[in-house]
Amino acid sequence: MGKNLADYRRNYTKGKLLEFEISSNPYQLFTNWFEEMEAQKDQHEVNAMTVSTIGDDGFPKSRVVLLKEYSEDGFIFYTNYTSEKGLAIAKNPQVCISFFWPTLERQVIIKGLAERSSEEKAEEYFRSRPKGSQLGAWASNQSSKIESREVLERKLEELEAKFNGKEIPKPQFWGGYLVRPVSIEFWQGRESRLHDRILFEKDENSWSYKRLAP
């Protein structure tokens, strides 16, 4: 069983990324691109990003999560600290996060060091979540083996009864990660596969950038 995908191709023509047009601050360029994506019609989860970690088995693993905040400090997402990604980060905080925005034929690839965000920030975000999402954080021992879907649903029902009419506290095993970038690469699709790639690298407290061959 197989399929030849050689004819799956398109020519990228929607933009360009030239040095004289960009900010020397990669966060400003990221903000510009993010806001341009938000302005596109019928876009869903513009903040979806891929997080890649290295596990005990030596293999990288990637999964899509949602970016919940960004600033010049870095990029924040939330998860279960005892999940596969949480345990991987605890042992090796070097991660890669990436955004793919096909509508504008763009990618952003960020290498950085992940650290837990503050409990105060995690508490604030947890309280802003819908009740179902709050209960879901309690119900799921993320990445662990479960016997069936029914086990998970029964756990949720028990939690709904337990917290009925009550404020749901944030689990201690759940919170945020702040990824502090050491490099940010901006990729803009161009014709004939001659894409624009601008790589920002951090040296102490300043950023420099260079163009990479496609």
Instruction: List, by residue number, the catalytic residues.
Output: 193
Which position has the token pair 């029914």? 150
Burial of 2 (0-12, 13-18, 19+ CB in 10 A): exposed
Coil, strand or helix: which one is 187?
strand
Q: CA 131 to CA 167: how far, in whole Å?
A: 9
Q: CA 110 to CA 56: how far, in whole Å?
A: 22
Question: Which structure tokens are listed for 38?
Answer: 């938000």
DSSP 127-175: HHS-HHHHHHHHH--TTS--S-HHHHHHHHHHHHHHTTTSPPPPPTTEE
Beta strands in the chain (DSSP E): 48-54, 60-66, 69-71, 74-80, 94-101, 106-116, 174-188, 196-203, 206-212
